[in-house]
Amino acid sequence: MKINVFVKVVDVDGADIIAPGAKGPMTLQDVIFNSILVPSQDDDDKKKYEKYEIFKKVKNANKDGLVDLDIEDIATIKKSIGKVQPPLVLGQAYDLLEGKLGNKDELHTG
């Protein structure tokens, strides 16, 4: 499934979220990086490498932000997001990963 990881994640008022020290607004790519690179207690070396491979895919998004992720990649990303992100970020990320939101959505103006 093609996912646009350059879509912005917004606050409750629809404004950009700017993390301290960030170079710009938070995107789905940032959420994935900040979630998938956090080790979990149940991660063995195989799982850590799997997460690293997903990181590389997302990092190498094409110029339009599109990344081809399979169902297993998306499941791993969602599980990682679920462990570390607050509900507002988690909800938007899940919707984007499931194709429910995109650049033309009222909250996400790309």
What pLDDT is stored for residue 104 in this prediction?
45
Cα distances from 108 to residues 45, 70, 73, in angstroms, run 36, 23, 23
Tell me: the pLDDT tens digits for 36-55? 999 899 999 999 999 999 99
Q: Please give the average per-residue pLDDT across 1-8, as a whole number.
A: 95
Q: What is the pLDDT of residue 19?
A: 81
Tokens of 102: 């995109």
pLDDT tier for residue 102 given thresholds of 50, 70 and 90: low
Is the distance from CB of 69 to CB of 28 less than 8 angstroms?
no
Dihedral Cα 35, 48, 59, 105, nearest 10 deg = -40
User: pLDDT value at position 79?
Assistant: 97
Query: For the chain, what is the radius of gyration of the CA atoms?
Result: 13
pLDDT at 105: 45
User: In the predicted model, what is the mean pLDDT of the chain?
Assistant: 91
Which tens digit of pLDDT belongs to each residue from 5-22? Answer: 999 999 999 999 998 888
pLDDT at 75 over 90: yes
| Structural element, H or E, at residue 68 | strand 66-68
Per-domain residue ranges of the chain: 2-97
